Chains A and B, each alone.
Chain A
């Protein structure tokens, strides 16, 4: 039994991450899957994005799939990580590490404050409140009252202040390894947190919050823990995003960004670590490739009625998402792991709107 856990918790992840780590060294191409050779900067940039979004999806799954918190405002913390580190470096001319320290500190405090307020309500109301906070952040970044974020232009990072190993196309490999390293850290942290004793309480809250309360524990304090951990990790991912894309743009602040994370997690399998990561990777890959397919000559030859939907990746992914929610609530992970109550069904209790007065 012990050996089996060791295998699933340590050996398998190490094997997978190890295999992913040698990807930049692969010098051949896979014609249908990627336009360019694997080790080319273009393909590596796409793979870095896939890996980073896998990590984002996992941080979201920590509060959604494992704790039952349906947040529509996760993007706020990713945006905070990307923008604040960028602003400190570019607008305030800080050096790299102090900027990172500041960003992580602010993210931790903000997650505590906003989490405290929004966890006053539960279920669906929590979703709406987190959405409102995220919207406030999006407006702030757009209107840019202090001329820090540069509004719609986005804020390109001052590359002279960044670690030189992460600057420029020649270093795409390093950026890929950075994203992969971040994913591995998040993966093992989530693994450790979920298995710790507070982590067990999070999952108990997801299944039945009232029972946790009856046991004499205070669910709100535990929910806040999960929320803060997940949000702070998201902010750290935001910093990786800033390095990967050499700056921050409004796209990370938008409410739709959180919704796409939700799509990734549900497609992969909520409450499953591999599921969330796979969902994030697959979604990001498809989102990129579907645009290429939409522009291909085959599709351009289709009649208008057929071509229009195919050219919109979000339309296809949205429909796929609906089908998965209806027919496969366990997501892709539910295909592999059978016999358990799967993904979404376990979160049901956490969002159910009423306890019928008996």
Chain B
């Protein structure tokens, strides 16, 4: 029972990261129809700038916690700014040319991983975090690493903030309306392009959060970490239904849990298979994903 509880919490922690990545991907696709392959680069910008600033900028600060928080904050800023720049410089000039937008993000993701590898080497870097994050707490007989709670809480907070933003603010309204029917929003005289940059920045920040948390979860950061997380985020997005934040959240939890349970109870690696199988089943039963409105109609 205690193992089951540990697996559940760990699965939720993993699902939390998937959600952070998938939410941005899903919003960007929903609004702009762009499959953003460069999202892996946003994750890497988040994790590497956090690691770099904590070693080179904030190295004078003695409190590990404060150093980690400050550098993480900078990591998020860099992630958001980088994402907004990508939208402005690469995506915007290719407006309405979807295939080229997708390909440009593919090229960027490959070039970016190569550049990071060139500058800091292919090896993983240790990620300095407060030691209590890696301590365990006994709950219901299970020894749960503390960082799992941080991951789950952060993802929940981001989900709540995103929903608040989408439901309560004017820009949230424009984004939701744009996902629904972009042509109509433009016809009403609203400049959707500002919303494009905005969703990219939001997606970039969320991905950078995932980057920081993946540094905590795996203890290290490496150049190709972003890409491997991104693949599962893609699966989450398709299962959840493109364009739906709620769908992404549900699918992220399902994928994270399924992966953890099967990796433990069956054998390592089977979890990844199960997730792909799950994707196949969802596609056969509901080609539009769990949340259901968007994919098929846009095929």
Chain A residues with a Cβ closer than 8 Å to the other chain, count? 57
In the complex, which residue of chain A has the Cβ closest to the Cβ of B295? Answer: A125
Q: Is the CB of A353 within 8 A of B29?
A: yes
In whole angstroms, what is the CA distance A317 to B107 when docked? 8
Name the A residues within 8 Å of B166 (CB-CB).
none
Q: Which of A118, A260, A352 has the most CB of B within 10 A?
A: A352
Whole-angstrom CA separation of A314 from B223 in the bound complex: 14
Q: Contact: A348 with B99, CB < 8 Å?
A: yes
Residue of B107, B238, B295, B296 most packed against chain A (CB within 10 A)? B107
B74 at interface, CB cutoff 8 A: no
Known A255-B227, A352-B98; contact A322-B111, beta-carbon cutoff 8 A: yes
A352–B272 Cα distance when bound, in Å, is 30
Q: Which of B107, B242, B276, B296 contacts A133 (CB 8 A)?
A: B276
Contacts of B103 in A (CB 8 A): 262, 266, 321, 325, 344
Selected from B106, B118, B231, B268, the residue in CB contact (under 8 A) with A262 is: B106
Q: Which of chain A's residues have a CB closer than 8 A to the CB of B102?
A: 70, 124, 127, 351
State the CA gap A357–B298 with chains docked (Å).
11
Q: Which residues of A contact B141 (CB under 8 A)?
A: none
**CB contact under 8 A between A326 and B114, given known A353-B298, A354-B298:** no
B295 / chain A contacts, CB cutoff of 8 Å: 121, 125
* 9-residue interface stretch from B3-11, B246-254, B277-285: B277-285
A312-B115, A325-B107 known; A122+B100 contact, CB < 8 A:
no
Contacts of A124 in B (CB 8 A): 29, 33, 35, 102, 242, 298
**Interchain nearest-CB distance for A261 vs B (Å):** 11
CB of B98 within 8 A of CB of A121, answer: no
Which positions 23-41 of chain B face chain A at CB distance < 8 Å? 29, 33, 35
CB-CB under 8 A from B111, the residues of chain A are 314-315, 317-319, 321-322
B90 touches A132 (CB 8 A): no
**Residue numbers in B under 8 Å from A352 (CB-CB):** 33, 98
A residues within 8 A CB of B279? 129, 132
Q: Which of A268-317 contact B (CB under 8 A)?
A: 308-309, 311-315, 317
A117 CB within 8 Å of chain B = yes
B238 lies within 8 A of A139 (CB): no
Report yes or no: B299 in contact with A326, Cβ–Cβ below 8 A.
no
Give the interface centre of A132, A311, A355, A357 by most chain B CB atoms within 10 Å. Answer: A132
Nearest residue (CB) in B for A127 is: B35
CB-CB under 8 A from B98, the residues of chain A are 348, 351-353
**Chain B residues within 8 Å of A345, by CB:** 97
A49 to B295, CA, bound (A): 39
Interface flag for B183 (CB, 8 Å): yes
Is B299 touching A123 in the complex (CB atoms < 8 A)?
yes
Q: Which of B33, B104, B269, B276 contacts A326 (CB 8 A)?
A: B104
- Complex: A319 Cα to B115 Cα, angstroms: 11
Residues of B within 8 A of A (CB): 29, 33, 35, 90, 93-94, 97-100, 102-104, 106-108, 110-115, 117-119, 181-183, 227, 231, 234-235, 237-238, 242, 267-270, 272-273, 275-276, 279-280, 283-284, 287, 295-299
Please list the residues of chain A having a beta carbon within 8 angstroms of any beta carbon in chain B.
70, 117-118, 120-129, 131-133, 135-136, 139-140, 142-143, 145, 255-256, 259-260, 262-263, 266, 308-309, 311-315, 317-319, 321-322, 325-326, 329, 344-345, 347-348, 350-357
Known: A120-B284, A135-B272. 9 other contacts (CB 8 A): A122-B298, A123-B298, A128-B235, A131-B234, A255-B227, A312-B115, A321-B106, A325-B103, A356-B181
